[in-house]
Amino acid sequence: MKLLFTLFFALVTLGTFAQKDFQGKAIYMSKTTMDMSSFGGRGGGQMTEARKKEIADSMKSILEKTFILSFDKTSSLYKEDEQLASPTARRGSGFMAMMAGSSVKYKNTKDLIAIEETEFFGKKFLVSDKMETPKWELGSETKQIGNYTCFKATLIKDVDPIDWTNMRRRSNDDKKGETKKDSINVVKVSDDIEIPKQIEVVAWYTPQIPVNNGPGEHWGLPGLILEINSGRTTILCTEIILNPLQKEVIEAPSKGKEITREKYNETVKIKTEEMRQNFQGGGRGNRGGRQ
């Protein structure tokens, strides 16, 4: 009886993915943690625990989000769930607005086309990326995510230089030049902030959904990626719908100024540096603020 059920399930699965108009939808929860232990107050003072908690609570809508991945056999659209998006965070300004900004990421794993429609300081961009097959190392370790058996894969990834989720505060020794430990493996963003050049990415994928895709920029495995652990960010699939009744048109976004990823990163760096200098020139003049 069990063998007959297994064969029936396999036939149903193969039939599902054999359909010409096959489409699926996956819901992901994304959570990024912040190391608040190294945060200090202005003037070098130690920030109170109450202040740290206040900052963490205010950034919750930015650090915890829900995304929807709509996919077919070769292409996908990945975007934040508009119903759960925080309008309060989007009305912010400066760096907070940049972090809260939404985007739509399109991938075509057959034609190796990746385009992101994003907004930065009120301007819309169409950012094109070079898609090169990721060099995943496949493992034999498995775990269950919902109804799906997933296999582990790892990857050493170059960090995007403007990825704020991987930014960390530089130690006092590094700032004084007293030690050069790990200095060749980090990029100095400012006197206070640095980013590691590379990080390990751990993915869990299921061959039960044989599509070469996953959340965000992640892809390249023999099955849909259901979980990603990358730096301080974890992305976990919480729901999968195969062949939904209401299907979505999966095509590349078209609104915004066309720009390469390199040029876009350069634009963000320049604007971020301007913000930092403006903050140092004017924002720090008020020493009466909270610590």
The answer to whether residue 8 is domain-embedded is no
How far is residue 58's CA from residue 52's CA, in Å, rounded to a whole number? 10
**Predicted confidence band of residue 242 (pLDDT cuts 50, 70, 90):** very high
Q: Which amino acid is at 236?
A: L
What is the pLDDT, as a whole number, of residue 91? Answer: 45
Comparison of pLDDT for 172 and 217, the residue scoring more: 217
The answer to whether residue 99 is domain-embedded is yes
Q: Where are the alpha helices (DSSP H) in 142-248?
A: 172-176
What is the pLDDT, as a whole number, of residue 4? Answer: 41
What is the pLDDT, as a whole number, of residue 290? Answer: 42
- For 140-162, write each residue's pLDDT tens digit: 999 999 999 999 999 999 887 77
- For 168-188, write each residue's pLDDT tens digit: 776 655 545 544 444 457 766
Q: Which of 106, 36, 22 is nearest to 69 (CA)?
A: 106
Please check whether residue 204 is in contact with residue 152, taking contact to mean a CB–CB distance below 8 angstroms.
yes
| pLDDT mean over 200-221 | 97
**Predicted confidence band of residue 13 (pLDDT cuts 50, 70, 90):** low
The answer to whether residue 2 is domain-embedded is no
The answer to whether residue 13 is domain-embedded is no
- For 68-85, write each residue's pLDDT tens digit: 999 999 999 999 997 766
What is the pLDDT, as a whole number, of residue 98? Answer: 52
How far is residue 285's CA from residue 172's CA, in Å, rounded to a whole number? 23
How far is residue 170's CA from residue 279's CA, in Å, rounded to a whole number? 19
The answer to whether residue 208 is domain-embedded is yes
The answer to whether residue 67 is domain-embedded is yes
The answer to whether residue 10 is domain-embedded is no
How far is residue 159's CA from residue 193's CA, in Å, rounded to a whole number? 15
| pTM beyond 0.85, yes or no | no
What is the pLDDT, as a whole number, of residue 2? Answer: 33
DSSP conformation letters of 51-67? HHHHHHHHTHHHHEEEE
Please check whether residue 194 is in contact with residue 168, taking contact to mean a CB–CB distance below 8 angstroms.
yes
Strand partners, 27: 68, 239
User: Structure tokens of 255?
Assistant: 């609104």
Strand residues in the chain grouped as ranges (E): 24-32, 64-71, 75-80, 103-108, 113-120, 123-130, 137-145, 148-158, 168-169, 186-188, 193-196, 198-206, 224-230, 233-242, 257-260
Q: Which range, 3-17, 81-95, 271-285, has the best average confidence (pLDDT)? A: 271-285
Q: How many domains does the chain have?
A: 1
Strands across the sheet containing 168-169: 168-169, 193-196, 186-188
Range of the domain at 247: 19-281
Q: Which helix (H) or strand (E) holds 10?
A: helix 2-18
